[in-house]
Structure 1
Amino acid sequence: APTERMQELGCERHFIDVNTAASLEPALYPIAHKLIGATYTSRDESGNAHLFTQRLAAKCKQAGVSFLYDTDIVALNTDAHSQCPHVHSITIRPAGQNAQTFSADSFVIALGSYSVPLTKPLNIDLPIFPAKGYSATYRVNPRAPHLAPFVSLIDDEYKLVMSRLGDKLRVAGTAEFNGYNMDLNMTRCKAITERVQQIFPKGIIANSAKYWTGLRPMTPSNVPLIGRAHLGQVRHGSQNSAATFDNLWLNTGHGTLGWTHACGSAKAISLLIQNEMPKVQFDFVGIDK
């Protein structure tokens, strides 16, 4: 079972009975008779990824980082005749402006699903596939806020995750393979709302739903690609020292765990660029241990 496997890896996840589940999350009391049991991870956390990234960007700006928004990345420019693959500059096009070229010592590709089309012209084959996920954000019923959950929940049967964000409840899930299409499929959206209404019928205002979709950068192994880029097919832990870029780095393919892995991945790629090996043992791409 997944829970037993996680326990073997040191995760404090435990089986609990229905009464314990309802005492931990009172919003489950009205449907307790439909539950068989649950698992509980006391150290699990959730939050508002959008707010986190906004606050992080503000901190970075204070530290001197410049951000270019509404900007297309046109191309990575390489030295075609170099013995060791090398990126000497990047061409970008800010909205409403002409293309511009910048050079740098190192380049990090952290574009999620959009890492693939940028690297393909360089003959870098990334096994990343865009899996469209959906979320719905509802206003919590102000007359009965206790009937919406405060504890983050996972509905295993319907593969939905639920997080309380103040006076709102965000529910996310589903996976749709439809290329880079970003259109909202209302059938999927309504399915999420119908399920939430079944579980917490009086806890949310259903017609307040705000739907959103995004592309998860999935890899076949569900393990991210972190390390040096190299020519040809890139796999988790793959190395191609004869054709490995000396200044192009990958930090992509995190699937559903982008925010979960974000800080650790950033620390790892930072150390690798400085020619240091991170403490966490990991099969980094293009790194000869």
Structure 2
Amino acid sequence: MAKVKYYYDSDTLSYKKIQTRKRDRFRRAMLFIIASALFGFLSVTVLLQYIASPKEKVMQRELENLKLNYELLSKRMEQSQKVLDEIQERDNNIYRVYFEANPIPEEQRKAGFGGVNRYKSLEGFDYSNMITEATKKMDVLSKQLYVQSKSLDEITGYAKDKEALLAAIPAIQPVSNEDLTRMASGYGWRLDPFTKARKFHKGMDFTAPRGIPIYATGNGIVTRADNASSGFGNHIRIDHGFDYLTLYAHLSKYNVRKGQRVKRGDLIGFIGSTGRSQAPHLHYEVWYKGQAVNPINFYYGELTPEEFQEMLLRSSQEGQSYD
């Protein structure tokens, strides 16, 4: 039951009942309903800013997935760029040198794209910078691959006229991958295992069990197969012609003799630890025009880009050599 309300009438000095008209009651009711509706609308609007709908949740998951795929794509492009950089280095300093061809300038390999803004259509989005950056990297990588492909086509043309040179160049590992324990030491400054002094290591050390086969890395003539050179123990030297010479040291025994003509892949000796050696391994050197050069640049005959990258990483670590 509604309470009866009174007001004091100062003229009659008495209390009188307050009479509420239906119109007033209706107006108050409408104001209450409108205020309630407005409050509800504002509350829902605020909550929707913090509570995502199912569709928004799906879109958020897709966005997170796209970000993850972008990061993976970026890493793969970086890895591909490293491998391509190594191939370009070998192309300029090894392959093109073989055939007396001019190196490709760095500016030509990595030139950008001038003129009209190629990426204008990618602007105006929430992640435009990320998308544009990835597209630029892919464009540059694609152009470098195109230039390198054309270069290799050119090298192939030279090769057809220089089969004898290609057969002579020491282009494979002297020890098979299946027989390797590991590539123990690379070309460069290393610690001498006996004196512990820093010394320039002119070749690469391949560790493997005693008796593992050693192969000629290119066609040539055996000029030495003896132990008369200080430190090398039983060793073999092959003159490949075209100013190339290879040396194989610390052998347990020979399978060739001086003056013998050999071909790439022929068995010439076996792993040992003769001479100045710390453990069974092969010390292998490549000489060109009277200067020792890094043998790692000559394994293009059998290594995949991934295997070459792994060997490059191991050979660049400065540690202790085995001889």
TM-score, L = length of structure 1 = 0.22
Larger radius of gyration: 2
- Which one has the bigger helix percentage? 2
TM-score by length of 2: 0.20
Q: Which has the higher contact order (CA 8 A, sep 6+)?
A: 1
Identify, as 1 or 2, the structure richer in strand: 1
